[in-house]
Amino acid sequence: MKRTIPILAVLSLLGCGTACHPEENGTEPTEQTEPSGPTEPTGPTEPTVVLVTGITLNETSVPLLVGEGTTLTAAVVPDNAGNKAVSWSSSDGSIAKVDGNGKVSAVARGKADIIVSARDGSGISATCTVLVSNPCPEGAIDMGSTTEEGIKVYWAPVNLTATGFAGTQNETGDYFAWGETQPYYTSMDPLVWKEGKSEGYAWTSYQWFKGQQSDKNAIVSKYCWKESTGYWGGSGEPDGKSVLDPEDDAAHVILGGKWRMPTNEEFSNLRAVCQRKWTSVNGRNGLLLTASNGNTLFFPGTDEWWGSNLSRMQNHQGKYWSSSLLEGGAGYAYFMAADVNGMGPRSMASRVLGMAIRPVSD
């Protein structure tokens, strides 16, 4: 009779217990990995490319006159940059142009940026601002003053009249309301008012006067800040104009060319760069300015028209219109006050007053 032996017993006799079946012992079987073959040989390591991290120009701002030139040089770092080549460009080639070697040529009055850029894809660049001025015109004076941007402004040596320049630096010239291109009189001695100007330098004589508010502020149809809707008498929204247009600039209309009235900022810059002294020149009191280059400019004392009354103040004061409207309003504009204290900054007055004008040229 055959005896049956349980299979577990056979396995036990063969020395294979639960270790042959790890899942029965609560463990996962370990997976055997095939032995790897021989390691594939690797090629040579690619060299690390060093990118440009900075560019420095020998100048960051350059003043030039039209027709002049200069050469900019660029220093590239680090020294071991893989590609130190650069390219040159201008933000406005109609004002200043540049060639591939950094040579800059001034073309026309204005401001342009000359940009040098790394060509290695790093995006690194540097900029030089070029300020191009016209040469000083014949008869004008270079006092070293500039516009707000830093472009040269040249001053007439005398005041403005209804027909051109005054004959000498001691003469007052004619009197203008702000934005009007001719005086309201045909003669001051004897005094003869033009047609429609019998009330003199008053709002009723002013070309853009459209009425008056209850608080006596004027309503105008030109030159009014956007937010000053209560002063606006023109069509649509206020025009937002804050500097006289050429056709309303007495100096430009009478003299032509590049002549115009100075802005308030240009008066302020002139004040900042000159020494000032109230003095007498050839028997006439006025403000004498002396520039760092030795040039001088004399502003004679002036009178002032208010309505049909001429204030007699030329022995101790002078008032000169700028082309700038007072911020935030419509009825007032800036003027330069010259007196024994020097040159008053940011003075303002009603647009209809009759004041002198000292032209400037671009």
Q: Answer whether the bond into residue 38 is a cis peptide, omega within 30°.
A: no
DSSP state of 215: T
CB 330 within 8 A of CB 231: yes
Residue 11: both structure tokens together: 């396995």
Residue 147 makes CB contacts below 8 A (sequence gap 6+) with 153, 263, 265, 266, 269
CB atoms inside a 10 Å sphere around CB 152:
21
Residue 146's SS3 state is strand
CB atoms inside a 10 Å sphere around CB 219:
19
Report pLDDT for 335: 97
| Enclosing H/E stretch for 306 | strand 304-306
Q: By C-alpha distance, which of 337, 32, 322 is closest to 179? A: 322
For residues 357 and 91, give the distance between their C-alpha atoms in angstroms, rounded to a whole number: 36
* Residue-wise pLDDT tens digits, 135-193: 999 999 999 999 999 999 999 999 999 999 999 999 999 999 999 999 999 999 999 99
pLDDT beyond 90 at 11: no
CATH of domain 54-133: 2.60.40.1080
* Residue-wise pLDDT tens digits, 38-58: 556 565 667 789 999 999 999
pLDDT beyond 70 at 1: no
As a whole-number percent, the residues of the chain with pLDDT over 90 amount to 78
Q: What is the mean pLDDT of the chain?
A: 89
Report pLDDT for 216: 62
* Residue-wise pLDDT tens digits, 269-292: 999 999 999 999 999 999 999 999
As a whole-number percent, the residues of the chain with pLDDT over 70 amount to 86
Domain borders along the chain are 54-133, 141-361
Q: By C-alpha distance, which of 316, 310, 305, 307 is closest to 355? A: 305
Residue 244: both structure tokens together: 């006289």
